[in-house]
Amino acid sequence: MIRTDSPTAPAKPVEHLEAVTIRFCGDSGDGMQLAGTQFTNTSALFGNDVSTLPDFPAEIRAPAGTLPGVSGFQIRFSSSPIHTPGDKLDALVAMNPAGLKTNIMDLKAGGLLIVNEDEFNPTNLKKANYANNPLDDGSLKSFQLHKIKISTLNKEALADTGLNAKAVDRCKNFFALGLVYWLYGRPVEATLRWIEDKFSKTPDVAQANAKTLRMGYYYGETTESFVVQYVVPTAKIEPGTYRRITGNEATALGFVTAARLANKELFLGSYPITPASTILEELNRFKHYGVKTFQAEDEIAAVTSSIGAAYVGALSITTTSGPGVALKGEGMGLAVMMELPLIIVDVQRGGPSTGLPTKTEQADLLMALFGRHGESPMPVIAARSPSDCYYAAIEASRIAVKYMTPVMLLTDGYLANGSEPWRVPHYADLPGIEIQHPLEKNSVDGYMPYKRDKNLSRPWALPGTPGLEHRVGGLEKADVHGNVSYDPDNHQHMINTRAQKVANVAQDIPPTEILGDAEGDLLIIGWGGTYGSITTAVEQCRSKGFKVSAVHLRYLNPLPPDLGEILRRFDRVLVPELNRGQLRLLLRAMYLVDAEGLNKVKGKPFLVSEIVEKIESMVRQEVSV
């Protein structure tokens, strides 16, 4: 039996903190993602606002102890609402020298550094390219260094469990987690419950993990190494029922919800690709909701099977990352031509080519907008936070079926794997998605598959409906009756019509929300996953008196109808992006605005401080001129 009561309260002095950013790092076999996830869940249950940033290598198991094999998980937990996983670390847990080497530069001066001293042996130091042991050479003197023999302590704690040495060693992440739980005054119950559930088939492993978790906690309580315990009080959060959710989980749930709102079956055609695969995995868990998942033989089959499913009436999606979008290009053109609803999800990663597959980037925007042959406009929308992926997926679905068009939904690796607490909606409160499939001929001359409604959308007659037999295809077709047409004027007309139809989506875009004043010195415009960093930066600058406002775009095509007017109300415009200036290029072209860029392409999200510094430099420049 696992005891579920909390260890006794500590007798050490307590220091209150507003927020803490901590990172667990170690070898990819050290269970750092697991420790980080458990810490996040516990902190969220405790009542903090949380935001996470997992960082794992592209290799599944790089050679143990090497620099490429380092896996990390960063969490910021706070007593006030937060939008990012934090810039600099308040605390770093390094399970081996390689982890220390690749992460120490992010730790604040004076920050808390916990290392697993056992792993700092000559072999591991060499693998991490350390000439001297950093624990002894004074190079870490600006940090609060805690050298703890985690492996040894874990081994001693589990000496009588009967598990073999390898199995025992595998438990050491829970010792470290227990120690950190004590350090920040977190209860251990939630993790104990999780262990019991997760290892229900191997009770000896469950008991070992539970035991070492407690031993880690007790170690913190009793060792003289730690003289204070830190407390981050609960945050004032909007009342409601919450869960923790990653972007890919939210994307998957959003589409299941959209299908139900539209009274449709969901069809997903997909080919595994990092960092999108977990959407395919998630949706496979929802077969009892009528979700049909098809793991295709390649990206092209993924998109084209989705087109087939869309033609016969499913809410149809395909999920991928940049290289997959490139392969799907011709298929997307077909969906544009046939005017079928389809959602293509691009979970952007570092490119080009295989690039940085596990890292984040925003460099697919122009491909999403223009990366197809011919004139093939497509609505493009972007999610801005992990939980926002849920609503973005529903919105993409609604646009697709209302306007009978493929829609691109952009998320990114940062959103996909990052997580945050999410106040869950009640399904009954979500607006329905209305779809009407014709059952009767829409003309005296028969069924006209390209006879349009006021939005310019064509009707969606489903195979199986008697009397509405019709053919669609990739060749240009005459408007209304849909027969193949090579007529020059018809082609011009159809090109214009398809473009206008996509432009009509603008009528559904709500007024753009502006963070801060509606006019001023500087407007920051962002899109997608940079929302958290930009918002935090702008709030910080505004609290210091800088006249800066921000707009974050969900709709990239068409752009919000009020955007041009908003741009004109500001002296300067700054566009921070994790690319070389793709939205900036678009804004300059669309609005003839002299937008400036803040661009970074390192596979990592913006630090808040990077945006703050840029804002302060720009606004100061304004003043000094």
Q: Contacts with other proteins in 410-449 (CB under 8 A)?
A: 423-427
Residue 213 Cβ vs other proteins, minimum distance, rounded to whole Å: 18
Q: How far is the CB of 46 from other proteins (least distance, A)?
A: 9
Length of the chain: 625
Nearer to other proteins by Cβ, of 451 and 470: the residue is: 470
290-329 residues in contact with other proteins (CB under 8 A) are 290, 292, 294, 296-298, 300-301, 304-314, 316
**Residues 268-287: x/- map of binding to other proteins (CB under 8 A)?**
-x----------------xx
| Angstrom distance (rounded) from CA 52 to CA 106 | 15
Give ∠ CA 347-353-354 in degrees, rounded to 5: 70
Identity of the residue numbered 181? Y
Distance CA 522, CA 597 (A): 13
Residue of 14, 159, 484, 590 interacting with other proteins (CB under 8 A): 484
CA distances from 451 to 420, 437, 441, 443, 480 (A): 45, 13, 11, 9, 4
CB of 492 to other proteins, least distance (A): 22
Residue 543, amino acid: S
Tell me which of 136, 222, 463, 592 binds other proteins, using CB under 8 A.
463
Any idea what DSSP says for residue 483? Answer: -
| Member of 76, 172, 211, 244 binding other proteins (CB under 8 A) | 244
- CB 226: neighbour CB atoms within 10 A? 21
| Binder of other proteins out of 356, 472, 585, 601 (CB under 8 A) | 472
Among 121, 123, 222, 483, binds other proteins (CB under 8 A): 483
Contact 535, 487 (CB under 8 A): no
* x-or-dash string of contact with other proteins, 219-238, rule CB under 8 A: ------------------xx
Choice between 465 and 497, CB closer to other proteins: 465
Residue 15 host element (H or E): strand 14-16
Distance of closest approach, residue 439 Cβ to other proteins, in angstroms: 11
Q: Determine if 240 is a binding residue for other proteins (CB under 8 A).
A: yes
Tokens standing for residue 122: 């000559």
Tell me how far the alpha carbon of residue 103 is from its chain's centroid.
Answer: 22
Given the complex with other proteins, which of 63 and 474 has the nearer CB atom?
Answer: 474
Q: How many residues interact with other proteins (rule CB under 8 A)? A: 72
The token pair at 76 is 């910021």
Per CB under 8 A, the list member of 466, 488, 510, 511 interacting with other proteins is: 466
Residue closer to other proteins (CB basis): 203 or 425 = 425
Q: Which stretch binds other proteins (CB under 8 A): 84-92, 357-365, 461-469, 532-540?
A: 461-469
Considering only residues 178 to 197 of the shown chain, the ones binding other proteins according to CB under 8 A are 190
Of residues 477, 453, 438, 461, the one with CA closest to residue 402: 453
- Smallest gap from Cβ 323 to other proteins, in A, equals 17
Tokens at residue 581, please? 């200036």
- In the complex, the smallest distance separating the C-beta of residue 270 from other proteins, rounded to whole angstroms, is 11
* Contact assessment for residue 407 and residue 342, using Cβ atoms and an 8 Å cutoff: yes
Are 81 and 539 in contact by the 8 Å Cβ rule? The answer is no
Q: What are phi and psi of 577, to 5 degrees?
A: -145, 150
Cβ-based nearer residue to other proteins, 293 or 362: 293
